[in-house]
């Protein structure tokens, strides 16, 4: 796997599939691999791990807050990893151990 994955820019008001990001794919991270996602800067976003991202973006539908200085790790075998940010943001993703 690549040592460094370029940061992922999350476009405003758009659900982004982390596993489909070209940098993540180039690093050899595949759907179902455990990943670690961290916020770059002071953005605010929501993270969801599951096969298909729910349309309703809130904690009741399974989204978790992804905040500055706090990383989120999903589970091995998750069939999707999605990030949503109302205003847009930048995240870093790496393979988790």
CATH of the domain at 49: 2.60.120
Return the bridge partners of 68, or none: 39
Domain enclosing residue 90, as ranges? 8-95
Instruction: Give the pLDDT of residue 3.
Output: 62
For the segment 7-18, the average pLDDT, to the nearest whole number, is 96
Instruction: Give the pLDDT of residue 97.
Output: 83
Instruction: Give the pLDDT of residue 2.
Output: 53
Q: Give domain status of residue 1, yes or no.
A: no
CA distance 17 to 45: 13
Tell me which residue of 97, 93, 51, 43 sits closest to 72, measured CA to CA: 93
At residue 33, the 3 state secondary structure works out as coil
Average pLDDT of the chain to the nearest whole number: 93
Q: Give domain status of residue 46, yes or no.
A: yes
Instruction: Check pLDDT > 80 for residue 4.
Output: no
Whole-number Cα distances in Å, 66 to 23, 26, 41: 20, 24, 12
Q: Give domain status of residue 55, yes or no.
A: yes
Cβ burial of 73 (10 Å; 0-12, 13-18, 19+) is: middle
Please write the tens of the pLDDT for every residue from 13-55: 999 999 999 999 999 999 999 999 999 988 899 999 999 999 8
Instruction: Give the pLDDT of residue 96.
Output: 93
């Amino acid at each position: 796997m690549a040592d460094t994955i370029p940061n992922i820019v999350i476009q405003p008001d758009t659900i982004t599939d982390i596993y489909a990001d070209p940098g993540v794919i180039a690093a050899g991270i595949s759907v179902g691999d455990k990943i670690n996602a961290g916020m770059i800067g002071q953005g605010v976003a929501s993270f969801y791990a599951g096969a298909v991202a729910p349309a309703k973006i809130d904690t009741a539908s399974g989204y978790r807050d992804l905040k500055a200085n706090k990383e989120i790790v999903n589970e091995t075998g998750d069939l999707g990893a999605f990030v949503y940010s109302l205003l847009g943001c930048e995240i870093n993703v790496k393979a988790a151990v």
